[in-house]
Amino acid sequence: MRKLSHEEISKNRSTLETLHSVNKLPVYAVLHNIRSSYNVGSILRTSDGAMVEKLYLCGFTPAPPKKEVLKTSLGAEESVAWEYAKDTKSVIRELKSKGIKICALELTDKSQPYYNLTKNDFPLCLVVGNEISGVTDDILELCDFSIEIPQYGIKQSLNVAVAYGISIFDLRRIYDTK
């Protein structure tokens, strides 16, 4: 085994010019009131890796060109479709009107494990909430269902960017599985 060079890795990657031909994951992500610019940048970069359809940065979620977002996104703000919207509810209602299922990544009395989703759940909007308060009740009311990442230790949750990464790559796996 040998580590691939940057040139070898880049040879099989999309470019900004070829993004239009990439098979995107039919997932829209709504980031609601995320506090940390570094978490937002990390989520942008992870969204590029999974090639999601679009990100919505809502409420007081920081957005590019904020330097802390750019530090961790490493240019992903150029390859991932994103937009800032002050009103999270309007974004969710608009996506819902297009037949997109709305799913909160949140511990609720009815949440199911993230790995239980199927291809029938796409297209999907994944709503991710604040690092402290999570997805708020008023936003949860607009969601069709919720998923959770089971926790086996003492802590009850994961860092928001880590939780997003686990979820989004499993959604990619589910969608890509024939």
DSSP code of residue 19: G
Measured distance CA(29)–CA(128) in Å, rounded = 7
| pLDDT higher than threshold 90 for residue 19 | no
Among 155, 156, 136, CA closest to 146: 136
pLDDT for the residue 18: 78
pLDDT for the residue 3: 94
| pLDDT higher than threshold 80 for residue 34 | yes
Tell me: the pLDDT tens digits for 83-119? 999 999 999 999 999 999 999 999 999 999 999 999 9
DSSP code of residue 130: B
Among 134, 60, 141, CA closest to 96: 141
pLDDT for the residue 113: 97
Tell me: the pLDDT tens digits for 119-142? 999 999 999 999 999 999 999 999
Provide the 10 A C-beta neighbour count for residue 3: 6
Which residues neighbour 118 within 8 Å (Cβ) at sequence distance 6 or greater? 174
Measured distance CA(169)–CA(33) in Å, rounded = 22
Among 35, 16, 28, CA closest to 75: 16
| pLDDT higher than threshold 80 for residue 20 | no
Beta strands in the chain (DSSP E): 25-32, 52-58, 82-85, 101-105, 112-113, 124-128, 145-148
Tell me: the pLDDT tens digits for 36-86? 999 999 999 999 999 999 999 999 999 999 999 999 999 999 999 999 999
**Residue 12 pLDDT grade (very low, low, confident, very high; cuts 50, 70, 90):** confident
Measured distance CA(161)–CA(27) in Å, rounded = 16
What is the percentage of the chain residues whose pLDDT exceeds 70? 99
Measured distance CA(40)–CA(57) in Å, rounded = 8
pLDDT for the residue 22: 83
Q: What is the mean pLDDT of the chain?
A: 95
